[in-house]
Amino acid sequence: MKHAQIQMFETTMVLLIFFIIVGFGLIFYSNYMHQQVEKNRKHVEDLNAIDVALVAMNLPEIACTVSSVMENDIVIKPGCVDMRKVEAFSDYLANNPEELGSYYFDRLQYSKIMLNEIYPEKKAFVVYSYSGLKHNEHNSSFYVPVSMYWPDKDTYSFGVMEVTLMQ
Amino acid sequence: MKAQMEILGLVVVIVLILLGLLLFVSFNLNTNEPKPLKNDFIKTQMAQNYINTLMDTTSSCNNMQISKLASECENIHLGFGSNVNCDDGLNPCSEIIKIANITLKDALGMYAYRFSFGIDKGYESEWGNVSSDAFRMDAMTVGSGKAVLPSKIPGQSLYFRLDINR
- Which chain A residues have a beta carbon less than 8 Å from that of B56? 79-80, 147, 156
The predicted-structure confidence for B42-85, as pLDDT tens digits, reads as follows 666 778 888 889 888 999 888 899 888 888 888 887 778 778 88
Residue A16: the pLDDT is: 93
Confidence band, pLDDT 50/70/90 cuts, at residue B126: low
Q: How far apart are CA A147 and CA B56, in angstroms?
A: 7
Q: How far apart are CA B27 and CA B43, in angstroms?
A: 28
**Could you tell me if A120 lies within 8 Å of chain B, comparing CB atoms?**
yes
**Could you tell me if A151 lies within 8 Å of chain B, comparing CB atoms?**
no
Residue B146: the pLDDT is: 66
Residue A36: the pLDDT is: 87
The predicted-structure confidence for B24-42, as pLDDT tens digits, reads as follows 787 777 656 556 666 666 6
Q: How far apart are CA B149 and CA B152, in angstroms?
A: 10
Q: With CB atoms and an 8 Å threshold, state whether B46 touches A157.
A: no
Please count the other Cβ atoms lying within 10 Å of the Cβ belonging to residue A46.
21
Q: How many residues does chain B have?
A: 166
Q: How many residues does chain A have?
A: 167
A123 beta partners:
A117
Query: In the predicted model, what is the mean pLDDT of residues A24-40?
Result: 89
The predicted-structure confidence for B90-118, as pLDDT tens digits, reads as follows 888 888 888 888 888 887 776 667 777 77
With H, G, I as helix, E, B as strand and everything else as coil, classify residue A100. Answer: coil
ipTM, two decimals, is 0.76
Higher pLDDT, B87 or B132: B87
Angle at alpha carbon of residue A118, lines to A159 and B89, rounded to 5°: 125
Under DSSP, the state recorded for B137 is T
Percent of chain A with pLDDT over 90: 34
Q: With CB atoms and an 8 Å threshold, state whether A158 touches B49.
A: no
B122 pLDDT exceeds 80?
no
Q: With CB atoms and an 8 Å threshold, state whether A39 touches B34.
A: yes
User: A134 near A110, Cβ under 8 Å?
Assistant: yes
Confidence band, pLDDT 50/70/90 cuts, at residue A125: very high
The overall average pLDDT reported for chain B is 76
Strand order in the sheet with B143-150: B128-131, B114-120, B157-165, B143-150
Residue A146: the pLDDT is: 93
- Which chain B residues have a beta carbon less than 8 Å from that of A117? none
The verdict on whether omega for the bond into residue B34 sits within 30 degrees of 0, i.e. cis, is: no
Query: In the predicted model, what is the mean pLDDT of residues A92-116?
Result: 86
Please count the other Cβ atoms lying within 10 Å of the Cβ belonging to residue A158.
27
Angle at alpha carbon of residue B109, lines to B65 and B74, rounded to 5°: 30
Quickly list DSSP for B93-139: HHHHHHHHHHHHHHHTGGGT-EEEEEEE-TTSPPSEEEE-TT--TTS
The predicted-structure confidence for A83-95, as pLDDT tens digits, reads as follows 999 999 999 988 8
Q: With CB atoms and an 8 Å threshold, state whether A156 touches B56.
A: yes
